[in-house]
Chain A
Amino acid sequence: MNFWTVMIDRFPYFMSLLLKGAVMTVTVAAGALVLALVIGLLIALLRMSRSRLLSGFAYVYTEFLRGTPALAQLFVIYFGLPDVGIELKPVQAAIIGLGINGSAYLSEIYRAGIQAIHRGQFEAAFSLGMTPIGSMRDIVLPQAIRMMLPPITNFSITLLKDTALVSVVAVPEIMFYARNLVTETFQSMHVYLLAAAIYLAMTIPMSRLVAYLERTRRAWQ
């Protein structure tokens, strides 16, 4: 049997399982993104705080997470934490692991975005009687977010692909199903190409979104 006959023959079966995995992939990616957005902002604010202790903590946090493999971090959370009495389900461990890992990258995106806003914006807000927190919330962040949207979307693309990692802690996402299918059918080429195609189908629209956001950002500045 040649490549295409097999592909056409087994396509519905492969896809039924891989698409089930895709739903999980999106769930994990979305959960991790939300977590990374929230924690990342917190870390960025700590990093820029006047307190040496807080900004030092944020620095160490970011360096540690960016300087060690996400896989090692995931293993610590899933296999290591039970030793201290914290047992997480695979999906929980995956979302927390990727979320914390992503927060380190996002905090740098936030920081760059906030620092790109001219000092004069803070000064104008201060001179009108706004507190530093109010100035950040009402004046600087709304502007910074528009600067940060393209890199955040890029980050989301990376995150979506990185969810493939969590198949190793038995989260039933795309690569997990793909590996099971290969074990069952020995059709490595077909299954993995289809799995890759599903990722691509999700990331292409996101890349287009980045391009669009880049254009509107230039127009607005």
Chain B
Amino acid sequence: MTAQLPGAAGQRPLLRIVDLYKRFGALEVLTGIDLDVARGEKVSILGPSGSGKTTLLRCINYLEKPSAGRIYIDDVLIGEKLVNGRTVHLSDRELAKERREIGFVFQRFNLFPHLTALENVTIAPRKVLGQSTEEANERGRRMLEKVGLGHKLAEYPERLSGGQQQRVAIARVLAMQPKLMLFDEATSALDPELIGEVLKVMRELAEEGHTMVVVTHEVQFAGEVSDRIIFMDHGRIVEQGPPAQILGNARETRTRAFLKKLADR
């Protein structure tokens, strides 16, 4: 399977996934995923629940260890390295270093409840990148302003709405200046009236040229923002292409059936 990559021919993809498998016991969740994502590209992944989209995303930053296959970011193998011709798993420290480059936005936000919004955003830059408190605070404040929460710096997560919490989580990821941002159903846990404010922030990030892989059920958002939409089912990429093609004129029956079901919701 070859992906149509925008940009100059021969340019190396930022993210390259090669023949990825993931099994949980006897359950095959991913069965041979190949995927390239170019620098600056916005890719949305659609698919029914249980199709493996979230697992794919979690494998990219090694929250799940793949059963087989390779993942590269900027040609650097993720989670493993070659030693004397054999692949071995990275140490905790080496893996942590690779993960700095990959931002992950969780469905349930996973903010740190014992820290304020600003501290949530600054803790990783301070502890992981070794920034001074002033430096991290200055940057953290800008990131929170960017997501429209400049007035909530000192609030604890429990005092914020779901939409605000998710925006803090996005600011937390931005503060690490990742090469790649992964969004795992970032709006699925939100009340309907709060979804818009999070999608607005994500749309702005897309316009700024961040490289994003977005697992979502928001078909309209995916259509407007993505360069490419991928449809997954049963642990495979069934079909992929530009939004107009997938949403308007899908080749596969499964894709059409899924989109119809979403539209009927």
Q: Which of A1-9, A135-143, A162-170, A171-179 contacts B (4 or more CB under 8 A)?
A: A135-143
Which residue of A127, A130, A134, A143 contacts B103 across the interface (Cβ within 8 Å)? A127
The residue in chain B whose Cβ has the minimal distance to the Cβ of A137 is B127
CB distance from B174 to the nearest CB of A (A): 11
A12 at the interface (CB under 8 A from B): no
Chain B 69-108: CB-based contact to A (< 8 A → 1; otherwise 0): 0000000000000000000000011001101101110101
Q: A69 an interface residue at 8 Å Cβ cutoff?
A: no
Most buried by B among A126, A129, A130, A138: A129
Residues of A within 8 A of B103 (CB): 127
Whether B99 pairs with A121 at a CB distance below 8 angstroms is no
Complex interface residues of chain A between 54 and 68 (CB less than 8 A to chain B): none
List of B residues within 8 angstroms of A132 by Cβ: 92
B209 sits at the interface (CB 8 A): no
Give the number of A-B contacts (CB < 8 Å). 66
Our pick among B63, B97, B113, B114 for the contact of A127 (Cβ within 8 Å) is B63
Contact of A131 among B96, B106, B114, B173 (CB under 8 A): B96
Q: Does B38 contact A (CB under 8 A)?
A: no
Q: Return the chain B residue nearest A145 by Cβ.
A: B114
B108 touches A126 (CB 8 A): no
B99 to chain A minimum Cβ distance, whole angstroms, is 5
- With A129-B124, A130-B128 in contact, do A120 and B96 touch (Cβ < 8 Å)? no
Kindly list chain B residues whose C-beta atoms are within 8 Å of the C-beta of A128.
99-100, 123-124, 128, 172-173, 176
B110 on the A face (CB < 8 A): yes
Instruction: Sort chain A's interface into a size bin.
Output: 20 to 34
- Which residues from 101 to 149 on chain B have a C-beta closer than 8 Å to any C-beta of chain A? 102-104, 106, 108, 110-114, 123-124, 127-129
- Cβ–Cβ < 8 Å partners of A120 in chain B: 106, 108, 110
Q: Which residue of A lies closest to B62 (CB)?
A: A126
Is the beta-carbon distance between A131 and B92 smaller than 8 angstroms? yes
Q: How far is the CA of A147 from the CA of B176 in the complex (A)?
A: 30
Does A111 make an interface contact (CB < 8 A)? Answer: no
Q: Is B61 an interface residue (CB 8 A)?
A: yes
The answer to whether B110 touches A134 (Cβ under 8 A) is no
Closest B residue to A142 by CB, please name it: B114
Question: Given A123-B63, A138-B127, A129 and B99 touching (CB < 8 A)?
Answer: yes
Cα–Cα, bound, A2→B63 (Å): 75
- The residue among B61, B102, B113 with the most chain A CB atoms within 10 A of its own CB is B113
User: CA–CA, A220 to B176, complex, Å?
Assistant: 28
Contact indicator A123/B100 (Cβ below 8 Å): no
- Encoded as 1 (CB less than 8 Å from any B CB) or 0, chain A from 104 to 137 comes to 0000000000000010110111111111111000
Q: When chains A and B are docked, how far (Å) is the Cα of A123 from the Cα of B104?
A: 9
Known: A120-B106, A131-B96, A138-B123. A126 touches B63 (CB 8 A): yes
What residues of B have a CB within 8 angstroms of the CB of A138 in the complex?
A: 123, 127
Taking CB atoms, residues of chain B closer than 8 Å to A134 are 96, 127-128
Give the contacting residue for A126; candidates B96, B169, B172, B173; CB below 8 A: B96
B73 nearest CB across to chain A (Å): 13
Q: Which of A127, A133, A139, A146 contacts B99 (CB 8 A)?
A: A127
B211 to chain A, nearest CB (A): 16
In the bound complex, residues from chain A placing their C-beta under 8 Å from that of B106 are 120, 123-124, 127
**A125–B176 CA distance with the chains assembled, in angstroms:** 12
**In the complex, what residues of A have CB within 8 A of residue B92's CB?**
131-133
- CB of B6 to closest CB in A, whole Å: 27
Report the separation of the CA atoms of residues A125 and B173 in the bound assembly, to the nearest whole angstrom: 11
A38 to B113, CA, bound (A): 25
Contact B176 A131 (CB under 8 A): no
Q: Looking across the interface, which residue of chain A has its beta carbon closest to that of B98? A: A129
Given contacts A118-B110, A127-B102, A142-B114, 11 further A-B contacts (CB under 8 A): A123-B110, A124-B104, A127-B61, A127-B99, A127-B103, A128-B100, A129-B99, A129-B129, A129-B176, A134-B128, A220-B113
* 6 nearest A-B residue pairs (beta carbon): A129-B100, A124-B110, A128-B124, A127-B104, A120-B110, A129-B128
17 A-B residue pairs with CB within 8 Å: A120-B106, A120-B108, A121-B112, A123-B106, A124-B104, A124-B169, A126-B61, A127-B99, A127-B104, A128-B100, A128-B176, A129-B99, A130-B124, A130-B128, A132-B92, A138-B123, A143-B114
